Amino acid sequence: MPIDPKLQRTIMGRFATGVTVVTMKAGETLWGMTANAVTSLSLDPSLVLVCVDKTTQTHQYLKQAGAFAMNILAEDQQELSNRFATPGPKEFSDLDFVDGETGSPVLGGTLGYVDCRLREVLAGGDHDIFIGEIVDGEDRVGEDGVGRPLLYFGGYQKLS
């Protein structure tokens, strides 16, 4: 008997993760989604992955764009996370961002980012697994190592 999806979500919410905003440019449309189902996959070649629900607009835009930037959020960027976690059009006009090498928006104030070309899409139940090959990126944590991540553990958390 399969587990109740709500229970699965609750249980997996107990696995602490960082929070990212995955951004893309599909034609003239800028789009993004908050994601914590992301991971570094390989160093050689340099690959990351993000899991995206097949029924979302993000899924369509990501396939069309063929590229994405994975922006790693700092603890003071919860509002940004909330903005991109809601369905519907995404507003970028008031955001600090630049175009990455792939044309994907790279958000300002983040701890770092990787800019990726879409390499492969794999089926994963009600989600697809988008594998991106990193073509550019930046670690934005200062030389002193200061930079605190936005964490999710059954809700947003701050390091103490």
DSSP string, 96-113: -EEE-TTS-EEETT-SEE
Q: Is the pLDDT of residue 156 over 90?
A: no
Bridge partners, residue 67, by sequence: 117
Q: How crowded is residue 41: how many other Cβ atoms within 10 Å of its Cβ?
A: 16
Angle at 33 between CA 107 and CA 24, to 5 degrees: 60
| Domain presence at residue 13 | no
The mean per-residue pLDDT over the stretch 130-154 comes to 88
Q: 3-class SS at 55?
A: coil
| Domain presence at residue 37 | yes
Reported confidence tier of residue 143, pLDDT bands at 50, 70, 90 = low
Q: Is the pLDDT of residue 121 over 70?
A: yes
Q: Give the number of domains in the chain.
A: 1
Q: What is the pLDDT of residue 154?
A: 86
Q: What is the pLDDT of residue 15?
A: 87
Specify the length of the chain in residues. Answer: 160
Which domain, by its residues, includes 112?
Answer: 18-140
More confident residue, 8 or 67: 67
Residue 115 sits in a domain whose CATH number is 2.30.110.10
| Domain presence at residue 5 | no
| Domain presence at residue 10 | no
Rounded to whole angstroms, the Cα distance separating 105 from 111 reads: 15
8 Å CB contact between 58 and 137: no
pTM exceeding 0.85: yes
